[in-house]
Amino acid sequence: MSGLPERADVVIIGAGIVGNSFAYHLAKLGVQRIVLIDKGPLPNPGGSTGHASNFIYPIEHSKMMTRLTQDSVRQYKELGVFTQSGGLEVARTEERMQELERRMVSALAWGEEAQRVTPEDIKKLVPYIDESVIIGGVYFPAVGVVDSLRAGTLMREEAQRLGALTVVGGTEVGDIKVENGVVKSVVTLDGQEIFADKVAICCGVWSPKIAKMAGANIPLIPTVHQMISVGPIALFADTVGEITYPIVRDMDTGMYERQHGGDIEVGSYAHRPITLQPEDIPSIEESAFSPTELPFTQEDFDPQLQDALQLMPELLGDEKAGVRHAINGLISLTPDGHPVLGETPEVKGLWSVAASWIKEAPGIARAVAEWMTFGQSEIDIHETDIARFYPHQKSKLHVKLRAEELFNKTYGIVHPAEQYASSRNVRLSPMHQRTSALGAVYFEAAGWERPQWYESNAPLLEKYKGSITQRTSEWDARWWSPIIDAEHIAMRENVGLVDLSSFAIFDVIGAGSLSYLQYMAVAQMDVAVGRVVYTPILDDQGGFRADLTIMRLAKDHFRIVTGGGVGLMDKKWFTDHLPEDGSVILYDATAALTTMGVWGPKARELMSKVTSDDVSGAGFRYGTCKNITIGNTEVLASRISYVGELGWELYVTSDQGAHVWDLLFEAGAEFGLAPVGIGVYGTTARIEKGYRAYGNELTPEYNLPETGMSRKTVKKEDFIGKTAHLSHRTKNPVALLCTFTIGAESLDGAKGAERRFPLGNEVILTTDGERIVDAKGRPSYLTSTGSGPSVGSQLGLGYLPFDLAVEGNVFAVQCMGRLYPATVAVVGNGSIFDPTNERLKG
Amino acid sequence: MILCLVEISDDKVADASLTAVSLGAKLAGENSDSLACVAVGEVSDSARKELGSYGVSTLYLASDSRLSPFAPAGWAKAVLAAVDSSGAKVVLGGSTDRSTEVLARASAKLDAAFMANCIDIKTAGGYQVSRLRWAGSVIEDAVVSDVPVAMFSVVQSELATPMVKETEVQLETLTFDIGDSELRDAVTEVLLPTGDGVSLSDSRIVIGGGRGVGSPEGFKVLDELAGILGASVGVSRVVTGLGWRPHKDQIGQTGTKIAPELYIACGISGAIQHMAGCRSAKCILAINQDRDAPIMSLADYAVVGDLHKILPKLIEELNAAGVKS
Amino acid sequence: MRVLVCVKRVPQAGGKLTLTDDKLAIDTKFLGFTIGPHEECAVEEAVRLVEKFGGSATVLTLGHADSVEQLQFAMSLGVADAILLDNGGAEWGPISTANAIAKVVEEMRSKGDAPDLILFGNEAPDSGDFQVGIRVANALDLPLVTGVKGVEVLDGELVARRESGAAIELTKVTLPAVLTVKEGLNLPRYPSLPGRLKAKSKPINKVSPQEKGDPSKLVQLRLPVEERTGGVLLGEGPDAVGKIIEVLKELGVVAR
């Protein structure tokens, strides 16, 4: 039946919206021999695309998701399958109304139109809403619906027309052969084999099952989302086409209602999470409808019936309108809510393009196609890299627990700093018992429980109350504490002790290690043993790939230290570039070592007390590292500081981490040592110093000069991204990263109004409220924000177009509907606190 | 004694009844038993001869005119009278609506077992029965304990053709009281068909349309093709559920069962309840956009594609070749 | 008018059935549940009769307690209340089933709540026994018409219409009576949202039925060998028309 070719450049498994888009984009980029396989029939093979509700709201808090959605809408429009309907998000509660305000800010940041509407306005747009049930809403004119099946067909046919694509339906994959960690071939159930350089898994809910055949892990879980279709709706009888009335998202009840021809489709994310394992998905023949349209469980939907009837009483209350179709539809959910994209860490050449919604699928497909072909994508999708998952995050249990928690948050009000409740306490620092006893409030990152602040420091609130800014708004104060500011002051006054065990640590060893790292890093790596190099890592286009420190421990032994959150992505990047002659090995020392930091004006005094090794300014210079003995334990001490204070990062073997902590803690009492959390380390202190963070300011989207981190000279040795970087240096950067101080009073000067605080991603506007976009189309927004207790101001980092990046220029950030002044304090590299780095280098 | 209820009309024994008779003959042969039949109405010599060719020894006949055209309670009583007279332990019938109802009523009166749609029966101290569930998609194997009387309706399966063991059929008239109980739910009136065309179940060629047709208007092209081929148009349950076509056009387990020479299924996925209605077709040609719809692997011939593109072309070429019904 | 309509919870099948490992039942792992198409028409008819003549309809089922789902479905269409004969989900034969139902009706009669009309589906989609309604009518000594595809009620009399070959048979009976009906009797409605909500608070009377006992016993289920295992793919799209015509000629449907 199938007639599979023998060889292909790329085999794509799965012909839903993702697979079809991916084939199309690869073909457009010039890939020649593409084979697309699906076990089901075309055009509707029975996956989630076939029953999706197909509407798109291009508004997200996430910049990446918004851009992918915007790109997808552009593509759908080009294909002629997009129908604009407009969309509403309505609020029944004040809390929801505030969230809608925040969504409007994000919409503004990413360039999407949004209008605040009253219940009366809403009634005019959607006459069948009972406006007495709602208190207001937001209208997004750009919302629309797409014919995703048709889109997929058109894209597939175009790829075929280019002569690049062979399509084989009704063929099920039974195995993926791998040799020496490289993908080799795909084998079908009926015994045909096709050899391929690359294989892409675009199988939606089936992806984990297919990946497992190759020994790879795609962490997603099929999850139910209920939908019913009610009709015939009398009001829709005279409308033409698929949709005339705007779509309504009734987010407080977790539901949406959209017209679909003569019916109204009502969907729900409010029911209990119902997850399945991919092995439990029925075959086409076993299903009454399709494999991803499972039998409807009425009891789960019943509570929502009331809510829907309340909002649309005449329409849905019409006894002549019946429930004509009802399903438990299957969609893919991931443990962190982002798609799972990229080359799998386990198998080279095996790519995952999974867990995408209709609304971003074509955009994702284009980005991954670019990534696969060129190594980078136009839209920065580094957050979706499949390499990001730590082993425990790929476990079925973790995926299930987190997906279940995320499901009901689909229309939820999620605070930007909100922590997960499930699957906690998995990775614990050796000092965990100590920090816990100190009342640490833990935030999780990469599975690690990291103290964000310590309740035991509460007495410092009184001591430093002059320097601490309280937040009166419950939302701004959520997942935050003024204790963070107090710890910050205590550290800058005396000394602080920071648990940094979440760092990912990789040792690079071997005769080829120097030349290898020279090629990987921007900075000069041929340094003396005992030097610490902070270096950007660039990609081919000169965009930021990573930001880390490398210590030279011996002639052929280096140690890389990077953030836990990006650890595995960085590991894959470094591993992928290892020389094939085996002259370099990379060893993951993360679990073997733990890290803590000792910083503050009294750090040297403290260290002198616990070690007899020379820690004087002359004896232990800034930017160097050496072994010292603290108590009875040998420790690698590194004189660097992300908080901009005198002090050291200490690397201790995990077994003795708690012991060293104890020694320092006890000895530090006389110096006023305070335990200091990541609230300081990762936000307040580093923003005062203007230190960038990967994922915030540093992303592939911005090049080195734009971040302000270019050095005076470029080393003569070659490195990844050198050519691009050199060309970036020849002209003015299109944008520049700046530090802002954010005023306490809003520009409209409303007296007595509650002060609001930016929490991240707030759009940066002109004082007239106009959006600011650079010549590459990149909007200005706060990439990081936090309080600056030592400088007495709220601070933020953000990019401005080159011409606007002038010290003293005043802009505005929007917090809860009001504009607060944002004044440029530093342009490019530089610190608003201790600008000459006296404290650091003493 | 094996007893078979037979339906006779227009001097012919119904094929469905002959199916039961042939199984009856087999059982009679296996158990060295004799085979009798019971009928209501009139029986011609040719019908009697036909029964004789299966080795039927006796035909019990109830001819009271009040039992015609169909008084199911009375017919059931006739069967019971025949059981009484013959001492039969097993009663068989064809799996028509009428025979099924009559045997069910008769077995209810005796509190005896009745099993519908049997494809095989073996007797060995009780009965080992295979019968159809899910309109033939599942087979049930069951045992019936040795009871005084057991009744079975029989459906065509892998049964033998008539054993030519020509016998002389004795005629026995049944007499029993016919009162209100036998007549209160008898057929009161028969409306003959207005005679417009061949019925779906009798058509030699049937064209079926399902969800893939897309709309009521979409059926125009099927009707046109049917006109050229002299075929009837039937529909799947999805279509009647959507109100596009009346239930009388429905093919399936709960619709009409068809057994044409050729069934062309357009835009029909092939759910088991539909296949139950058309699997007796000699040849099935399926046209569907879905290469892997269940029907595509059950059809004798399949064409993948949009019926709204294929049928017009087919019609065009048939017209060009001068094909007319 | 008092109408009693009897339904059975059955799996909603797709294109293929699978059996449980012990071969005694259908594997319902991926399947939802419903009532048969004949019964959907029976429920619809019950609701229509009550809409026209007043009174009320009751829906009854014998089976697992999960059958409440099917009872609520019927009530969401307008049936007033329900009776559940909970037998724990065991597979009862037609004699036991009919016996238990008849007992319930006798109970109703003794309370002065005798149904004027009792409706059944002609046969259940799964077991296809064709006899429960018939046995109930016999036990209650009521007139019975089977295979009904048309109903007209006037002054305590009912005219039932059914098909016999190409002909239509009319049977007039006096109420109370029993009908087994077939799909095509009417076009059933879908449940509305308010109907569904109201159904949740409608009463369900639970009864523990006694099993009379059937002489037949299930040994196993099996799937028939499919004679058709997929034939010839003639081609794709309008290009295949030539091949189609060849087949038509081969079959003698079209002259050569």
Annotated domain spans of chain C? 2-207
Pairing label, strands B205-209, B232-235: parallel
| Residue A256 falls in the annotated catalytic set | yes
Q: Do A41 and B294 touch (CB under 8 A)?
A: no
Tell me the count of A-B CB pairs closer than 8 A. Answer: 23
What does pLDDT average to over chain A? 94
Report pTM: 0.86
Amino acid at site A796: G
The domain total for chain A is: 2
Distance CA A466, CA A459 (A): 14
| Range B57-83 average pLDDT | 96
Strand order through the sheet with B35-40: B170-173, B56-62, B35-40, B2-5, B90-94, B150-154, B113-123, B127-133, B138-144, C216-222
A53 within 8 A of A267, measured Cβ to Cβ: yes
**Chain B residue with Cα closest to C38:** B254
Contact state of B261 with C251 under an 8 Å Cβ cutoff:
yes
- Write the single-letter amino acid at A599: W
**Closest listed residue to residue B5, CA positions, set B95, B128, B109:** B95
CA–CA separation, A602 and A668 (whole Å)? 9
Contacting C residues, span 129-188, partner chain B, CB-CB under 8 Å? 129-131, 134-135, 137-139, 141, 143-147, 149, 159, 162, 164-174, 177, 182-184, 187
Pick the last residue of a domain from A286, A308, A333: A333
The answer to whether B192 contacts C215, with C-beta atoms less than 8 Å apart, is: no
**What average pLDDT does the segment A556-579 reach?**
96
Asked whether the beta carbons of residue B133 and residue C126 sit closer than 8 angstroms, the reply is: yes
Minimal C-alpha gap between A42 and chain C (Å)? 12
Smallest CA–CA separation between C208 and chain A, in Å?
24
Rounded CA-CA distance C3/C50 in Å is: 8
Position with higher pLDDT, A279 vs A622: A622
* Structure confidence at residue C233 (pLDDT): 85
Q: Which of A25, A51, A61, A225 is catalytic?
A: A225
Alpha helices in A312-346 (DSSP H): 313-317
Domain B2-183: CATH superfamily, name plus number? HUPs (3.40.50.620)
Cβ pair A210, A267 in contact under 8 A:
no
Assess contact for B232 and B203: CB atoms under 8 A: yes
| A222: chain C residues, CB-CB within 8 Å | none
pLDDT at B158 over 80: no
Inter-chain contact B69–C169, Cβ cutoff 8 Å? yes
Chains in touch with B (3+ beta-carbon pairs under 8 Å) read A, C
pLDDT band (50, 70, 90) for residue A1: very low
Residues paired with residue A454 on neighbouring β-strands, in sequence order: A440
The answer, yes or no, to whether residue A48 has pLDDT greater than 80, is: no
Q: Which of A314, A140, A147 is nearest to A241 (CA)?
A: A147
Neighbours of chain A (3+ CB pairs under 8 A): B, C
Distance CA A27, CA A32 (A): 6
Residues of C with CB under 8 A from a CB of A: 12-16, 18, 29-33, 69, 72, 189-197, 200, 233
- The DSSP 8-state label assigned to residue A698 in this structure reads B
Q: Residue A143 domain-assigned?
A: yes
Residue A814 lies in a domain: yes
Q: What is the pLDDT of residue C72?
A: 97
Per-residue pLDDT, averaged over A474-490, amounts to: 97
Asked if A43 has any chain B CB less than 8 Å from its own CB, the reply is: yes
Among the ranges given (A427-431, A531-535, A723-727, B135-139), the one the predictor scored with the smallest mean pLDDT: B135-139
* B-to-C residue pairs, Cβ atoms closer than 8 angstroms: 260
> Of residues A24, A139, A256, A781, which has the active-site annotation?
A256
Q: Which of A468, A840, A495 is nearest to A675 (CA)?
A: A495
Q: CA of C46, closest CA in chain B: separation in Å?
A: 19
CA-CA distance, A341 to A352, in Å (whole number)?
5
Chains interfacing with C (3 or more CB pairs < 8 Å):
A, B
CA distance B123 to B144: 9
Cis peptide before B69 (omega within 30 of 0): yes
Identify the bridge partners of residue A810 per DSSP, sorted by sequence position.
Answer: A823
| A128 is a catalytic site residue | no
Q: How many CB pairs under 8 A join A and C?
A: 72
* Identified catalytic residue from A252, A499, A507, A547: A547
Tens of pLDDT, residue by residue over A451-471, are 999 999 999 999 998 889 999
User: Among C139, C129, C36, which Cα is nearest to C91's?
Assistant: C129
pLDDT at res. A297:
94
Do C216 and B129 lie within an 8 Å CB cutoff? yes
Task: Chain B: give the shortest CA distance to residue C81, in Å.
Answer: 26
Q: Which residue has the tokens 């409608």?
A: C202
Q: What is the rounded distance in angstroms from the CA atom of residue A246 to the CA atom of residue A235?
A: 14
Q: Domain boundary at A302, A333, A364, which?
A: A333
CATH number at residue A286: 3.30.9.10
Model pLDDT, residue C138? 97
Final residue of a structural domain among A313, A333, A353: A333
Candidates A135, A138, A41; CA nearest to A89 is A138
Locus of tokens 């019968």: B131
CB B287 within 8 A of CB B303: yes
Q: Which of C43, C190, C193 is the best mutation test for A, with the most CBs of A within 10 A?
A: C193
| CB-CB contact of A248 with A88 (8 Å) | yes
List all residues 6 or more positions away from B179 whose beta carbon is below 8 Å from its beta carbon: none
All residues of chain B having their beta carbon less than 8 Å from the beta carbon of residue A40 are 290, 292
| Cα gap C223→A280, rounded to integer Å | 22
Residue A44 has a pLDDT of 60
Mean pLDDT over A142-163 rounds to: 92
In this predicted structure, the answer to whether residue A375 has a pLDDT above a threshold of 80 is yes
pLDDT of residue A749: 75
Residue extent(s) of CATH 3.40.50.1220 domains in chain B = 200-320
- Please name the residue of chain B whose CA is at the shortest distance from the CA of residue C126: B134
Burial A671-706 (b: 16+ CB within 10 A, else e): bbbbbbbbbbbbbbbbbbbbbbbbbbbbbbbbbbbb
Q: Of chain A residues 202-231, which have a CB less than 8 A from chain C?
A: 230
Q: Can you tell me the mean pLDDT for A473-478?
A: 95
Residue A16 CB coordination number (10 Å): 29
Tens of pLDDT, residue by residue over A516-529, are: 999 999 999 999 99
B200-320 is a CATH 3.90.1150.150 domain: no
**Whole-number Å distance between alpha carbons of C15 and A288:** 7
| CB-closest option in B288, B291, B294 to A285 | B294
**For residues A381-387, average pLDDT:** 95
Query: Is A728 considered catalytic here?
Result: no
What token pair was written down for C7?
């339904």
pLDDT digits (tens, 9 = 90+) for A291-309: 888 999 999 999 999 999 9
Q: Which residues of C touch B312 (CB under 8 A)?
A: 238
Separation CA A399–CA B39 (nearest Å): 69
Which residues form the domain of A776? 722-840
Residue B11, pLDDT score: 85
What pLDDT, on the 0 to 100 scale, is given for residue B324? 67
Alpha helical stretches, state H, chain C: 37-53, 68-76, 94-110, 132-140, 193-200, 241-250
Q: Is the dihedral of CA A104, A106, A107, A109 positive or negative?
A: positive
For B54-61, what is the mean pLDDT? 94
Residue B160 has pLDDT above 70, yes or no: no
Gyration radius (Cα) of chain B, Å: 23
pLDDT digits (tens, 9 = 90+) for A724-756: 999 999 999 999 999 999 999 999 877 778 899
A666 vs B304 pLDDT, higher one: A666
Give the residue from A385, A383, A392 showing the smallest Cα distance to A352. A385
Quick count: other Cβ atoms within 10 Å of Cβ A187? 17
Mean pLDDT, to the nearest integer, of A777-797?
96
Residues of chain B with Cβ-Cβ distance to A290 below 8 Å are: none
What secondary structure letter does DSSP report for A693?
-
- By CB neighbour count within 10 A (0-12 exposed, 13-18 middle, 19+ buried), where does C12 fall? middle
Residue identified by tokens 């076509």 is B245
- Do the Cβ atoms of B289 and A41 come within 8 Å? yes
Residue given tokens 């002609």 in the structure block: C122
pLDDT at residue B77 in the model: 97
Closest to A435 in 3D by CA, of A674, A742, A688: A674
**With 0-12 CB in 10 A as exposed, 13-18 as middle and 19+ as buried, what is B1?**
buried
Q: Tell me the CATH number for domain C2-207.
A: 3.40.50.620
**Confidence band for B195, pLDDT divided at 50, 70 and 90:** low
ipTM confidence score: 0.93
Range of lowest pLDDT (A264-273, A274-283, C142-151): A274-283
Q: Is A41's Cβ below 8 Å from some Cβ in B?
A: yes
pLDDT at A25 over 90: yes
Per DSSP bridges, beta strands B35-40 and B56-62 are parallel
Location of each CATH 3.40.50.620 domain in chain B: 2-183
Other Cβ atoms within 10 Å of A462 Cβ, number = 9
The pairing of strands A440-445 and A448-454 is: antiparallel
Instruction: Supply the CATH number for residue A793's domain.
Output: 2.40.30.110
Structure tokens at A126: 């959607």
Tell me the mean pLDDT in the region A253-273: 94
Which regions of chain C are under pLDDT 50? none
Interface test with A, best of B211, B274, B290, B295 (most A CBs within 10 A): B290
> Among B137, B275, B292, B306, which would you mutate to test the A interface (most chain A Cβ atoms within 10 Å of its Cβ)?
B292
Judge whether residue A42 has pLDDT over 80.
no
Residue A45: which pLDDT band, with cuts at 50, 70 and 90?
low
Report d(CA A393, CA A447) in Å as an integer.
8
Confidence of residue A50 (pLDDT cuts 50, 70, 90): low
The pLDDT-based confidence of B159 (bands split at 50, 70, 90) is low
pLDDT, one tens digit per residue, over B251-285 is: 998 888 899 999 999 999 888 889 889 988 999 99
Q: Which residue reads 């080795």 in tokens?
A: B55
Question: Which tops the pLDDT comparison, B246 or A398?
Answer: A398
Give which of B52, B13, B50, B47 is closest to B35, Cα–Cα: B52
Please tell me the least confidently modeled range out of A302-316, A322-336, B155-169. Answer: B155-169
CB contact under 8 Å between A42 and B293, yes or no, is no
| pLDDT tens readout for residues A612-646 | 999 999 999 999 999 999 999 999 999 999 999 99
* Cis ω before C176 (30° cut-off from 0): yes
